[in-house]
Amino acid sequence: MTYSIDKTKGIVKQARQVNSPNCDARPDSDDISLLVIHSISLPPGQYGGPHVDQLFTNCLDPDVHPYFDEIKHLRVSSHLFINRQAQLTQYVPLTKRAWHAGESEFDGRQVCNDFSIGIELEGCDDENYCDAQYLTLAEVTKSIREVWNQITKDRIVGHSHIAPDRKTDPGEAFDWDYYFSLIQ
């Protein structure tokens, strides 16, 4: 599937839209130059269900799972999420700052949220991602790069690359070579 992006609004037209309040204006709306790939599963190691939507919209019920009680205070989001069936969900317009990277640094610049787009894959660091997820990730990456051509191959990183002391995602199971072969 080819994804169309409304550059003015930052909306991926084919994505399911779920609005997260966890975003704000970028300091420089013309400075989108990094793509950060993450992974998430809620509860850890489990897939499916409404929990990612709930986390990114501040509606996660801490009584559903003990882990949820640990993260109930978080106010986080991502621009996009690709579940195990390769369905694409958008939480934050690409033109806004999503709260996905936290304390981070890339190429000498801190606060990567200011200039990056974050994409979450439903998965775990040590479990293979689905081929369909890679295909969706590749197609949406190509569309993003058509709009924001500053995002070159060397400016596509994992969360672990920009926050190595805090984060490990998307993890050792993420096949960078395969993904890069798809976006060539």
Domain of 55? 5-183
pLDDT tier at 180 (50, 70, 90 boundaries)? very high
Among 120, 122, 146, 172, the active-site one is: 120
Q: What is the largest CA-CA distance in the chain?
A: 45
List b or e across 62-89, with b for residues whose CB sees 16 or more CB atoms inside 10 angstroms. eeebebbeeeeeeebbbbbbbbeebebb
Determine contact, residues 39/122, Cβ cutoff 8 Å.
yes
pLDDT tier at 1 (50, 70, 90 boundaries)? confident
**Number of independent structural domains in the chain:** 1
In the predicted model, is pLDDT for residue 166 greater than 90? yes
Q: What is the pLDDT of residues 21-46, one digit of tens each?
A: 999 999 999 999 999 999 999 999 99
CATH code: domain of residue 123: 3.40.80.10
Q: What is the pLDDT of residues 47-86, one digit of tens each?
A: 999 999 999 999 999 999 999 999 999 999 999 999 999 9
Q: What is the pLDDT of residues 85-142, one digit of tens each?
A: 999 999 999 999 999 999 999 999 999 999 999 999 999 999 999 999 999 999 999 9
Instruction: Please say if 120 is a catalytic residue.
Output: yes
The 10 Å Cβ neighbour count of residue 19 is: 12
